[in-house]
Structure 1
Amino acid sequence: MADVAVLHNTLDFQGGADTVCLAVCDALADDHDVTLFTVSETALEALSDRFDTPLPDVDVRMPTGANRTARALSWLAPWVGPQLAFRSVLLRRFFLPVADEFDLAVSTANEVAVPIPSVQYVHYPQFKIRRAADADAGRLNALWSRVAAPDVSGGTDTATYLANSGWTADVFEAIYGTRPTVLHPPVDPISCDTTWEDRETGIVVVGRIAPDKRLEEAIAIVDGVRDRGHDVHLHIVGSAPRAYRRYADRIAAAAEERPYVHLETDVPRRRVIELLCGYRYGLNVKADEHFGMAVAEYVAAGMVPFAPASGGQREILRGRADRSFDSVPEAIDLVSGAIDRDDRPRLQRDRFATDGFQEAFRQHVR
């Protein structure tokens, strides 16, 4: 048994990274004493309820005033831009004085310099990302990188790096010169009693209500499919973190203008599953998605998924050209064609099961 520190910069965005954090804490808690370090206003219990996952038996440590700090950062997000790297700098500063209490550090929110051996799960590199042409680094990323980026090429780094997709591993290697091992995030198959014939001929978009998800394009795609004569409707469902409140208001206004577009925010997990099992088609519109938890959930629920032909989501779709697109008009063509042909789901539903993810992670920790 070891003393393990899990570092997770924030639980407030309530997305795929947070499900990984929960799964990792749960995987390690039986064999080790686990302490979660974070700077969040969202409680671990709230995430466990939202995602309907086990509440891991871990201690939680946060800096004094962490709740107020996290709330302030969320309020400032529309004006200050990317802040995950800064949150990691804050968390690292809190962790360093007590690092020698632990045998191992585990980062579930990207790479960070720590003075003890570590296993680090990278959703997308957060430091030195001026070297990645597609990244929105923020004005101060170079400063945060000097403070907290690991020295991967210096010969003293003892970290094991994991990446959520081969695409993310490529980006990390381009920045740091070393390639992480790919370990896809956990997405369990979803048990659905509804037959294909009884599912609605409609489209679901699952995920954070945030600008990078390009939900206006999802609405435009449904507009276009309807113009082709298909009586489909769109259901957008996901968390609406404080940081994205203005964007959520904009999407709500667009939905109000269309009787066939519905928006639900911050709903229980059972409602998300009800929608995934009740509809035929799942849509993601974010280009260069680092992995694509929503796309994996569409597959896990027996839906026909569509996503941009970029990023890690291509790995979920097995490179199928009839499920991936480069533009809104192309997406309209693909969805309309699938409806015309009555395409059925063909992808493996249990490919990313939690048991496999957790055992692989435990092995890296060992």
Structure 2
Amino acid sequence: MDLMSKGGGEAVAMNVLEALQGDHDLTLLTLTDPDLRELNDYFDTSVDVGSLTVERAGYLAPWLNDRFGLKYYVLQNALLGRYARRHSDEYDLLVSTINELGLESNAVQYVHFPFDWTVSCDDREHIFHPTVEEDSLYERLATRVAGVDREDIRQNALLANSGWTADVVEDAYGTRPEVVHPPIDTREFEDLPWSEREDGIVTVGRIERSKRIKELIRITEGVRERGRDLHLHVIGPTVDEEYREEVEALASGRDYVELEGEVPREELVERICTHKYGIHGKEYEHFGMAVAELAAGGAIPFVPNEGGQHAIVDDREELLYGSVADATEKIARVAADPDLQRELREPMGPSAIRRRFGRRRFQRRIREIVAEAMDRPATGVPGAPTDAPAERPASGD
């Protein structure tokens, strides 16, 4: 809906555009006027600004986004899908990178987390968007506008960002999507020796309430009280000004907390590569691209118990926490044990993350899936005709 939000979903969208631009004429349906050059710099992508057509999806949804930001996020999502469905006959294929939309049968849909409000899952109130109350008038309106048909969803090429998300999609629709992990940019990360890193923690993500940054400050404070002189860097763009003010107030007077906000890509990479630890605060995270980047930079990442980020840390109990107190104890324990640090770092670093979650893998699979959906041979992938052009290297990989 708004690429300038610069989150994981927006990174996926930019990589899909980059993957497909060599073989297809692309139109981006969105709610804003994105600065694609800035986004290329931020995500280290190479989307061809001159050849991409950007089209606002009608009037109401863009107006809602401009006037209220994320306040009516779910309704905006529904209106975007409705607009795409109405204009579907203008295109050979629709590809959604903003979860499942009512796009009828001929579509590719990448689901970060399903918007099916009837899905029965535990902790529903923690997982769905905070503006939505179950069975409220607003929820019913958004559901009606979205017009998502379960049978259409089953016939789409359905993808999910993690096994955890795939489980929930299967619960919602009775069909299991293919897991295609998001693309992680690893090129700039350097696996610096442990002895050259600072005794500090880095957290990366948008400054908003669901990221639980205040809790991360309290965790760092608790670790320091246990004799470990760690500091905390908070990096990411602000999307909730009220919450940022709360974070600033809590950080005030704590000189071990540096609230950096959005920084250039090279500074982000430098912070990760020169620090020993990372932490993520969002519970029920669908995948956690920021966690994968922390691991790519060689930092040891600590993540909440619930969500798709388990795949990144290989379900290591030492790195999974259930509360502020639990995280405090686990970080303090790891910080005090050099042998455990070495053991936990083994699956980390640029080469390991590239093998598991790299961009080349993601973009190649997206081209294959789109080719299959259009009943065409894919170029640059196994099985393509011998005179097909060679695969273009994915930027940043």
Residue 179 of structure 1 corresponds to 176
Change (3 A) 1:67 1:84: closer
Deviation at 1:224, TM superposition (A): 0.6
Comparing 132-141 with 179-188, greater Cα deviation is found at 132-141
Residue 3 of structure 1 corresponds to none
Deviation at 1:141, TM superposition (A): 2.3
Matched, 1:283 2:287: no
Is 2:273–2:298's contact at 8 Å kept on the other side of the alignment?
yes
Query: What CA distance in whole angstroms lies between the structure 2 residues aligned with 1:45 and 1:353?
Result: 22
Residue 214 of structure 1 corresponds to 212
Change (3 A) 1:234 1:112: same
Residue 70 of structure 1 corresponds to 65
Matched, 1:261 2:252: no
Query: What CA distance in whole angstroms lies between the structure 1 residues aligned with 2:110 and 2:85?
Result: 19
Deviation at 1:129, TM superposition (A): 5.0
Query: What CA distance in whole angstroms lies between the structure 1 residues aligned with 2:173 and 2:104?
Result: 18
Report the aligned-residue RMSD: 1.9
Could you say what secondary structure the match of 1:185 adopts? coil
Residue 366 of structure 2 corresponds to 361
Matched, 1:160 2:152: no
Structure 1 length normalisation: TM-score? Answer: 0.90
Residue 309 of structure 1 corresponds to 305
Could you say what secondary structure the match of 1:234 adopts? strand
Residue 124 of structure 1 corresponds to 113
Could you tell me which of 311, 333, 345 is aligned with 1:337? 333
Query: What CA distance in whole angstroms lies between the structure 2 residues aligned with 1:334 and 1:20?
Result: 32
Gaps of 5+ in 2: 372-397
Deviation at 1:295, TM superposition (A): 0.8
Structure 2 length normalisation: TM-score? Answer: 0.83
Matched, 1:11 2:11: no
Query: What CA distance in whole angstroms lies between the structure 2 residues aligned with 1:333 and 1:18?
Result: 34
Query: What CA distance in whole angstroms lies between the structure 2 residues aligned with 1:197 and 1:129?
Result: 51
Could you tell me which of 342, 353, 371 is aligned with 1:349? 353
Deviation at 1:149, TM superposition (A): 4.2
Deviations 1:4-55 (A, max 9, x none): xxxxx23242200000000001001101111110002543333222223223
Equivalent pairs: percent with the same residue? 39
Matched, 1:102 2:91: yes
Could you tell me which of 181, 185, 210 is aligned with 1:188? 185
Query: What CA distance in whole angstroms lies between the structure 2 residues aligned with 1:240 and 1:277?
Result: 23
Query: What CA distance in whole angstroms lies between the structure 2 residues aligned with 1:41 and 1:71?
Result: 11
Comparing 52-61 with 310-319, greater Cα deviation is found at 52-61
Structure 1 residue ranges, 4+ long, deviating more than 6 angstroms after superposition: none
Change (3 A) 1:69 1:44: farther
Residue 166 of structure 2 corresponds to 169
Deviations 1:300-349 (A, max 9, x none): 11111110121101111111111111111111111111111121312123
Deviation at 1:92, TM superposition (A): 2.8
Aligned length: 349
Change (3 A) 1:270 1:155: closer
Query: What CA distance in whole angstroms lies between the structure 2 residues aligned with 1:201 and 1:156?
Result: 47
Could you tell me which of 39, 43, 64 is aligned with 2:31? 39
Residue 14 of structure 2 corresponds to 22
Query: What CA distance in whole angstroms lies between the structure 2 residues aligned with 1:155 and 1:188?
Result: 33
